[in-house]
Structure 1
Amino acid sequence: MGKLYIVGIGPGSKDQRTIKAQEVLQSSNVIIGYNTYLKLIADVLDGKEVIGAKMKEEIFRANTAIEKALEPKNIVSLVSSGDPQVYGMAGLVFDLLARRKLDIDIEVVPGVTAALAAAAKLGSPLSLDFVVISLSDLLIPAGEILHKVTKAAEGDFVIVFYNPINKKLLMDAMEIVSKYRKPNTPVGIVKSAYRDDENIILTTISSWRDYMEDIGMTTTMIIGNSLTYRYKNYMITPRGYERKYEI
């Protein structure tokens, strides 16, 4: 039996991969992933068995990684963008292992998830409690997603939206948030963080619709809470030091 790594490659650029991720990718003899992600790690693919897949072929990728890891001496890397546990491949692989009652040598290698990558480009919007919600309704019903958005908005959490590709669902979600936030609440829109086509926009709840054309699959949106403010090109959520100390 071999070993299976589920590797988070971060937001996309090589310099945002962890040292552990780089070491694992270099030592693997089999690498499996979504074709777009494989292009992002082209520097470690030479001389390896590379198995690519299209969008919506996650089950194929996961099962293939398991089968390859069951073969003797194979070191297999199944890659996810960002972190493999955050809307990535880790959950599916472990679910399949449990359903098939398999026992293999497996390790998750964490990576920089999109929320953290986008937040770093905006300043420090996640310094206080925040919620991450995927707006993809391919697997989760839209009504369930909007219920979560409502609760996050009611709780005054900073809200991070992943996968805002369904424009109607995005509009509905932002309409809910706007009921609990002031019109000038900062909204960060970060497309393709740390990739060649990176685009960073800092706007507000009242004006975010002006940038609808910049929002897609590789976009992460961050909506501030009642404390979040803008200073120059930074989005800042105070941690709370000003409540206890003189700053």
Structure 2
Amino acid sequence: MGKLYVVGIGPGGLEHMTVKARQVIEESEIIVGYTKYIELIKSLIKGKEIFSTGMMKEEERCRAALRLSKDKVVSIISTGDAGIYGMAGLVLEMRKDEQVEVVPGVTASSAAASVLGAPIMHDSCNISLSDLMTPYELIKKRVEMAAQGDFVITLYNPKSKGRPYYLKESIEIIKRYRKGHTPVAIVKNALREGQKQQLFTLDSFDDSDADMLSVVIIGNSQSFVRNGIFITPRGYKL
């Protein structure tokens, strides 16, 4: 009897992978994943059977992982957390009688927050600006509702060549509900090689360096920056 682990490998650096994630990857006979993600863990998977595909082949990878797991131990990997824009949902939708276990990891918003300080200490939400799976009008509605509700907002997939204006438009929506001095940060390659962070306000925000390897964190009405550290207070009486 085989088993399929759906594994979040975190931001990409092995030192930020959970003990459980490393354990199940080492236990697995077959590793399934996007080619670039396989590269991130190549030192852990020497000698293992690999099934990898390029971008936009998520369904193919999930079908292969489920098929292979009928009589072998398999890990299908995602960066970040497998249940946050990862493979967990698709695997479980496709699953029939296969044995599946989801192994969580450090998601991009948590990784970026640790670089910046403590920007998501209070109520927050993640919104992807990719419209491959979600209509853009619905994305904009979600951005507006989150801004109106005073959530700290993390924007995943903020900008690509095919979507050069979505981030700017989202910032303009948020500005209707937040003051101009509200802190905003771009973190690129959080906790991995090439890490870069930038701090702005809503009024000074510049999206020039934002891309698909970045996340953008917008503070709530109480967020502030002190000595270069982005903080959202939880409400303790100091």
How would you bin the TM-score normalised by the shorter chain? over 0.9
> Of 172, 175, 178, which aligns to 1:178?
175
Shift of 1:214: 1.5
Structure 2 residue 231 is matched with structure 1 residue 236: yes
Structure 2 residue 98 is matched with structure 1 residue 104: yes
Shift of 1:148: 0.4
Structure 2 residue 31 is matched with structure 1 residue 41: no
SS of alignment partner, residue 160 of structure 1: strand
> Of 110, 113, 120, which aligns to 1:126?
120
Shift of 1:4: 0.2
Runs of 4+ with deviation above 4 angstroms: none
For 2:105, give the aligned amino acid: G
Q: Which runs of 5+ in 2 are unaligned?
A: none
Q: Which runs of 5+ in 1 are unaligned?
A: none
* Residue identity (%): 45
How far apart in 2 are the matches of 1:5 and 1:173? 36
Task: Give 1 or 2: higher helix fraction.
Answer: 1
Deviates more, 1:165-174 or 1:11-20: 165-174
SS of alignment partner, residue 208 of structure 2: helix
For 1:43, give the aligned amino acid: S
Shift of 1:142: 0.2
> Of 192, 202, 205, which aligns to 1:205?
202
Shift of 1:14: 0.5
Shift of 1:167: 2.3
Shift of 1:203: 1.1
Q: Show the 5 A alignment for 1:17-166.
A: 17-70=17-70, 72=71, 74-97=72-95, 102-165=96-159, 166=163
What is the CA RMSD across the aligned residues, in angstroms?
A: 0.8
How far apart in 1 are the matches of 2:77 and 2:46? 16
TM-score, normalised to structure 2, is: 0.97
How far apart in 2 are the matches of 1:60 and 1:136? 20
TM-score, normalised to structure 1, is: 0.93
How far apart in 1 are the matches of 2:85 and 2:193? 23
How far apart in 2 are the matches of 1:159 and 1:239? 15
SS of alignment partner, residue 32 of structure 1: strand
Aligned residue pairs total: 235
The superposition leaves residues 149-196 of structure 1 with CA deviations (integer Å, 9 ceiling, x where unpaired) of 010000011001001122211111111001111111101110001111
The superposition leaves residues 2-49 of structure 1 with CA deviations (integer Å, 9 ceiling, x where unpaired) of 100000000110000000000111111100101111111011121100
